[in-house]
């Protein structure tokens, strides 16, 4: 019996389940440019903890308004006047949320518009696919604010663009946008139209895969990056042993064998 997600409990995220198992999850504080306060982080933890067991096939992660996310809620942080231990625990909750996203097994497709900055870029980099459009720009303003990244940028943004670029972004506040940002790996898609429309299209496509296959793609690949090549090869074999023999795959293999399944062709 899948778990239920009680949409009415969420105040900082807007949750919209679609008929095909895709859920649209929108950061819903546009008046604060979707800055990440503690409550938003807790709602992300809640949602992504349950989503893999609630029949969620894919997630479109979006931001309400003109900007995806302005990063850490600087006003909340200022007013709370936190101790080092307090802020360490804040960061641990961010990691809890973002690790649930990256390792949870449900495809997360981020629709990026406007500012994707600081913790907003850390959030985006936890998604499996990022779509940007003409309005999207990326930055790590932590350096200018007297701060340091605390939501995984040292791991995930470095993974996307490399150590030297990440350090430059933090030291100088450098902003990346347009084709250059996409070419560097900030996003996998750069669209002329709306990033949201493309994200929904891709989420619907991913949702047609078997859930166990998607689970492996959106969990095992990340775990294996943390292993030695020797251990990753072993883990890959075990995962493939389970996934590639799943009963639901038999119909798809049979369709290939009887030539009714679509073939892989170059883009026209």
| 230/236 Cα distance (integer angstroms) | 10
Does 108 sit near ligand 1HE (CB under 6 A)? no
Does 123 sit near ligand 1HE (CB under 6 A)? no
Indicate the DSSP class of residue 88. H
Residues 78-107 that bind ligand 1HE (CB under 6 A): 91, 94
Evaluated on CA atoms 119, 120, 124, 130, the torsion sign reads: negative
Give the residue nearest to ligand 1HE (CB): 118
Q: Which stretch binds ligand 1HE (CB under 6 A): 18-26, 46-54, 111-119, 223-231?
A: 111-119
Q: How far is the CB of 220 from ligand 1HE (least distance, A)?
A: 27
Q: Closest CB to ligand 1HE among 61 and 202? A: 61
Complete DSSP assignment for 166-218: HHHHHHH---EEHHHHHHHTS-SEE-SS-HHHHHHHHHHHHTTS-HHHHHIII
| 2/14 Cα distance (integer angstroms) | 21
Query: Strand 13-17 and strand 22-27: pairing?
Result: antiparallel
Does 15 sit near ligand 1HE (CB under 6 A)? no
Does 115 sit near ligand 1HE (CB under 6 A)? yes
**Pattern 26-65, ligand 1HE, x by CB under 6 A:** ------xx-x------------------------------
**Pattern 144-163, ligand 1HE, x by CB under 6 A:** -x-x-xxx------------
Q: What angle do CA 255, 257, 263 make, to 5 degrees?
A: 70
Annotated catalytic sites, by residue? 122, 142
Query: Residues interacting with ligand 1HE, by CB under 6 A?
Result: 32-33, 35, 67, 70-75, 91, 94, 115, 117-119, 141-142, 145, 147, 149-151
């Amino acid at each position: 019996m899948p778990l239920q997600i009680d949409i009415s409990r969420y105040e900082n995220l807007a949750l919209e389940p679609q008929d095909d198992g895709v859920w649209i999850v929108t950061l819903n504080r546009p008046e604060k440019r979707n800055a990440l306060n503690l409550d938003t982080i807790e709602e992300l933890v809640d949602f992504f903890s349950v989503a893999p067991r609630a029949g969620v096939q894919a997630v479109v992660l979006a931001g309400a308004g003109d900007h995806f996310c302005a990063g850490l809620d600087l006003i909340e942080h200022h007013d709370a006047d936190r101790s080092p231990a307090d802020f360490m625990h804040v960061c641990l909750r961010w990691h809890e949320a973002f690790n649930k996203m990256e390792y949870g097994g449900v495809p997360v497709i981020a629709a990026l518009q406007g500012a994707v900055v600081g913790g907003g870029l850390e959030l985006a980099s936890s998604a499996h696919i990022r779509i940007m459009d003409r309005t999207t720009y990326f930055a790590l303003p932590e350096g200018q604010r007297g701060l340091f990244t605390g939501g995984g940028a040292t791991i995930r943004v470095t993974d996307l663009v490399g150590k030297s670029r990440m350090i430059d972004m933090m030291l100088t506040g450098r902003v990346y946008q347009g084709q250059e940002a996409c070419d560097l790996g900030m996003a996998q898609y750069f669209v002329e139209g709306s990033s949201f429309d493309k994200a929904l299209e891709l989420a619907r496509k991913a949702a047609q895969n078997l859930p166990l296959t998607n689970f492996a793609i959106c969990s095992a690949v990340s775990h294996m990056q943390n292993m030695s090549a020797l251990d990753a090869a072993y883990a890959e074999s075990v995962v493939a042993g389970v996934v590639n023999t799943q009963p639901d795959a038999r119909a798809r293999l049979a369709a290939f064998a009887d030539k009714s399944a679509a073939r892989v062709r170059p883009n026209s």
